[in-house]
Structure 1
Amino acid sequence: MSCTRQIRVFPSPAELALSLSQLLHHESRGRSHFTLGLSGGSLVQLLSRELPKTVGLNTEGWKVVMCDERLVPFTDPESTYGEYQRQLVPLGILSESQFITVDPSLSVEDAAADYTKKLREIFPGDELPTFDLLILGVGPDGHTASLFPGHPLLQVTDQIVASITDSPKPPPQRVTLTLPVINSAKTVVFVATGEGKAAVLRRILQEEESDPLPAARVCPMRGKLLWFLDEPAARDLTCPVEKHSVL
């Protein structure tokens, strides 16, 4: 899959986080309505650290969706929304009412159907929800959201949200945006830090494979694709990258 992309490399996660917050400010500035998809993991800490410092940031019109979610209670440390609820919401940047959440009290199939309905409500009339910005992570195996290598969900084209009951990474039950939705976004940003991601990033960004890893299948149809990496994550790349230092 050929896709225009920008690879930005930062000396540290702190500088990456600052630039990411500035990007969110730039993309949402002057907008009365802004739709954002977030992932979990280290992104929660990165945003919680820098968003409160972003001068002029106005999140009043934001609606925030989880790109994927584990089907566990919000109080569980594995809950992506639960982590934002605990770490970001108390800072006053976003309110709980701005988050569109998966209902963990439902079966995984019903949770996916309920989440689909919620997305349809914030994207009325759109065959495919078109997010203003999605922020994705990437696992050491090349998965993104809850789309795993070799899994049948990679072939789903008739759903905007899908359930998974056999996630290779625990917990097994999850709800995820599908590839067509991810690839309809206006901007997609991958965030990866640490040397543990170096080998898989080389595969994703430099090697053409007959069966591409899930993250390598992300290619916005009419939008832009950005990769935000720190230096340890980018150490094995020989393709052109943009070096950034913002502190």
Structure 2
Amino acid sequence: MSSNCQIRVFPSAAELALSLSQLLVNESKGVDNFRIGLSGGSLVQLLSRELPKTAGLNTEGWKVVMCDERLVPFSDPESTYGEYQRQLIPLGLLSESQFVIIDPSLPVEDAAADYEKKLRELFPGNDLPNFDLLILGIGPDGHTASLFPGHPLLEVTDKIVAPISDSPKPPPQRVTLTLPVINAAKTVVFVTTGEGKAAVLKRILQEVSDPLPAARVCPVNGKLLWFLDESAARDLTCPVEKHSVL
């Protein structure tokens, strides 16, 4: 495990959420045009619940990208941006104009190219976008974003956004940030809760052979944080930091 990796374990998902919110305050403080990549799933509910009551959080200059997105209409419950549009944006912390979104009306190859163009505009002059912060999740199979075990996209190095039309998890058509972009971020945080993730976390964090997609995340010049609750971390025998914020 890399020396720039920290595993933080919290007694509960509620305490994890409080600490994650404080991390957002700390990471964005004093940063003009804070550029953050978000994932979907339970993170949408967590941020929608915690951010409105987080003291000291200033989201005025934020630009928000989806780490991956499903090629479905925003009205579809499978749309990650659609869920933020329904749950977080109405709270007034972020406006629709602060989100960088795909065009779901395009074929998947064109949607990826269009999204890459938008990211290039967000990071002018950079060969690789260097996000200030990426928040990722993991699946029970060890996938992260839409990078799945054994999939050719894991080896892509010449694109910052890639299309996928054969996702093993529906819906099949998606666009995703590639590993080089993820590993160029200044800070990457994995947020994982629940005993259902315990076995795969042990494999990701403690086994070196045949690394799963999430295990390939190792920021080149940044830091990697794991925010876990005790249920998710129960099988780990490697060193961890125990945190409590309540």
* Class of the TM-score when normalised by the shorter of the 2 chains: over 0.9
Q: Is structure 2 residue 212 aligned with structure 1 residue 213?
A: yes
Superposed displacement of residue 3, structure 1: 5.2
- Which amino acid in 1 is paired with 2:22? Q
The equivalent of 1:121 in structure 2 is: 121
- Which amino acid in 1 is paired with 2:99? F
**Is the CA contact (8 Å cut-off) linking 1:165 and 1:174 kept in structure 2?**
yes
The CA deviation string for residues 80-137 of structure 1, in whole angstroms up to 9 with x for no partner, is 0000011100111111100000110000000000000000001001000000000000
The equivalent of 2:228 in structure 1 is: 229
The equivalent of 2:61 in structure 1 is: 61
Identity of aligned residues (%): 85
The equivalent of 1:38 in structure 2 is: 38
- Which amino acid in 1 is paired with 2:73? P
TM-score (norm 1): 0.98
Structure 2 gap ranges (5+): none
The equivalent of 1:130 in structure 2 is: 130
Q: Following superposition of structure 1 onto structure 2, how do residues 72-87 of structure 1 map, counting pairs within 5 Å?
A: 72-87=72-87
**Is the CA contact (8 Å cut-off) linking 1:13 and 1:46 kept in structure 2?**
no
The equivalent of 2:240 in structure 1 is: 241
Give the Cα separation in 2 of the matches to 1:224 and 1:32. 20
SS at match of 1:226: strand
Give the Cα separation in 1 of the matches to 2:86 and 2:67. 18
Structure 1 segments of 4 or more deviating over 3 A? none
The equivalent of 2:12 in structure 1 is: 12
Give the Cα separation in 2 of the matches to 1:230 and 1:87. 24
Superposed displacement of residue 2, structure 1: 4.2
**Is the CA contact (8 Å cut-off) linking 1:186 and 1:222 kept in structure 2?**
yes
SS at match of 1:47: helix
Q: CA 1:183/1:53 → structure 2, altered by over 3 Å: closer, same or farther?
A: same
The equivalent of 1:93 in structure 2 is: 93
Give the Cα separation in 2 of the matches to 1:217 and 1:30. 30
The equivalent of 2:180 in structure 1 is: 180
**Is the CA contact (8 Å cut-off) linking 1:38 and 1:134 kept in structure 2?**
yes
Greater mean alpha carbon deviation, residues 212-221 or residues 7-16:
7-16
The equivalent of 1:21 in structure 2 is: 21
Superposed displacement of residue 4, structure 1: 2.6
SS at match of 2:228: strand
The equivalent of 2:191 in structure 1 is: 191
RMSD: 0.8
**Is the CA contact (8 Å cut-off) linking 2:4 and 2:222 kept in structure 1?**
no
Give the Cα separation in 1 of the matches to 2:126 and 2:158. 14
Structure 1 gap ranges (5+): none
Give the Cα separation in 2 of the matches to 1:181 and 1:54. 29
The CA deviation string for residues 20-59 of structure 1, in whole angstroms up to 9 with x for no partner, is 0100000001222100000000000111111111112110
The CA deviation string for residues 170-208 of structure 1, in whole angstroms up to 9 with x for no partner, is 000000000000000000000000000000000000111
TM-score (norm 2): 0.99
Report the number of matched residues: 246
**Is the CA contact (8 Å cut-off) linking 1:52 and 1:91 kept in structure 2?**
yes
